[in-house]
Amino acid sequence: MANKNVELMRGNPETAVKKLAIPIMISMLLTASYNIIDGIWVAGLGQAAIAGIGFVTPIFMILNGVSVGLGNGATSSISRFVGAKNHEGANKSAAHALLIFLVASIFLTVTLLFIQEPLLRTYGASGQNLAEGIKYGTPLFLGLIAFMFGNGGSGILRGEGDMKRAMYAMIVSVTLNAILDPIFIYVLGFGSAGASMATIFSALGSASVILYWILIKKDTYVNVNLREFKFDSKIAKDILKVGIPASMDMFMMSVAVSLYLVFISTIGGEYGIASFTSGQRLYLFAIMPLTAIGSAVAAVSGSAYGAKNGDYLSRAHLYGVKFGIAFGTAVTI
């Protein structure tokens, strides 16, 4: 399976972008459904719970953006080694990516647990809204490592062109979330905290499947041997060089949403926040396929760059632009 995916990456760039983009689109749309499924079930708890989740949504976007961004860094690095036919380099890049995911998740978890209350207050949360936001956010931050390895691990698979298994892992995760949400929220009586707990356990399912393929079953193109791991700052910088700017894109988007929340909270209160949150989810659904096309182009371009094939690199980029414009126009209409 892995060799077939690698050959696709090294083959016709237009075909590769198209075939790789579709599974990524499905995966990202499924990722967006986390908050939507949570919102549907939490709706029965009242406006304060919906507003509480709305206040946490920008933070969730940042965390999701960081994990996806670092995953894109892994995708770029691994795909370049794949294009250069440097199997050992791809293995080392995957191992360093796992280390980066671990360090980033620990740092962000500790930081957010300390600053979540003042951060939510900055957004305009207070009283019951604030309490519900903290109830929803705390389990989410504690389980951040599951998201990091789920989205980041998908980036490793994308780097070798294995988009379908990344999609399968996400299907497992979303299915679990849909099943666990009503159980944790209502049956076990955890309320809004139950929504985030269900999300984390679901993300853990996705991460576990991906890590099983990479570290235990070892049927991926990359072969990660943690016992023989030796840190190489050059490889780590190579991943972060792409991962950090990619993460910053989502961060800036989240800053914009945060400013909206401050204004809406002042003018419309919890009802305004609840309405804005519902519309924001639809907006995220609309733009995620475009991000998926970009991820596919990044993987194919990385492979072409590694192979030093300028023609394939240009063709992948041009096809991605055309694909994105066509898709964006269709969604707008």
Examine the pLDDT at 323 and tell me if it is beyond 70. yes
Q: What is the pLDDT of residues 90-120, one digit of tens each?
A: 999 999 999 999 999 999 999 999 999 988 8
Distance CA(15)–CA(21), nearest Å, equals 10
User: Minimal CA–CA distance to 57: which of 275, 283, 261?
Assistant: 261
Find the Cα–Cα–Cα–Cα dihedral 20, 22, 23, 29, rounded to 10°.
140
pLDDT in tens, 47-69: 788 788 878 877 887 787 788 88
Distance CA 302, CA 195 (A): 38
Most confident of the ranges 30-39, 257-266, 313-322:
313-322
Nearest CA-CA partner of 6 in 14, 68, 16, 316: 16
* Band of residue 1 on the pLDDT scale cut at 50, 70, 90: very low
Q: 42 versus 185: which is more confidently predicted?
A: 185
- Comparing 31-40, 86-95, 229-238, 242-251, which segment has the lowest mean pLDDT? 31-40
Cα separation, 227 vs 73, in Å, equals 23
* pLDDT recorded at residue 254: 67
pLDDT at site 81: 92
Structure confidence by residue, pLDDT tens digits, 143-177:
999 988 988 888 899 888 888 888 888 888 888 98
